[in-house]
Amino acid sequence: MNTTLAEALPSEVERVIRLAKLYMSVPFGYLSANMMLSDVRAAQQAIQCGDIVEMLRLYESLKEWKDG
């Protein structure tokens, strides 16, 4: 199944938001959570502006955030 950027980026944004909430629950996790949420805000802005290049860059950046 092929997924478009318009479908994949919002899903990745939601995943990273959930992940940031988990990081906030551990000692010093807020540091990583704040960086995650910075990427999330930038991705949301890129979506709102329709900036495809920035959307692609941020999609790749968000995918880098892993749990564990």
Q: Does residue 38 fall inside a structural domain?
A: yes
Tokens coding 15: 């995943």
Q: Does residue 57 fall inside a structural domain?
A: yes
* Cβ contacts of 35 within 8 Å, gap of 6 or more: none
Q: Does residue 21 fall inside a structural domain?
A: yes
- Count up the domains in the chain and report the number: 1
Q: Which structural domain range is residue 29 located in?
A: 7-63
Q: Does residue 58 fall inside a structural domain?
A: yes
Q: Does residue 43 fall inside a structural domain?
A: yes
DSSP code at position 22: H
The pTM for the full model equals 0.90
Sign of CA dihedral 45, 47, 48, 51: positive
* Cβ contacts of 19 within 8 Å, gap of 6 or more: 36, 65, 67
Q: What would the pLDDT profile of 26-59 be if each residue is shown by its tens digit?
A: 999 999 999 999 999 999 999 999 999 999 999 9
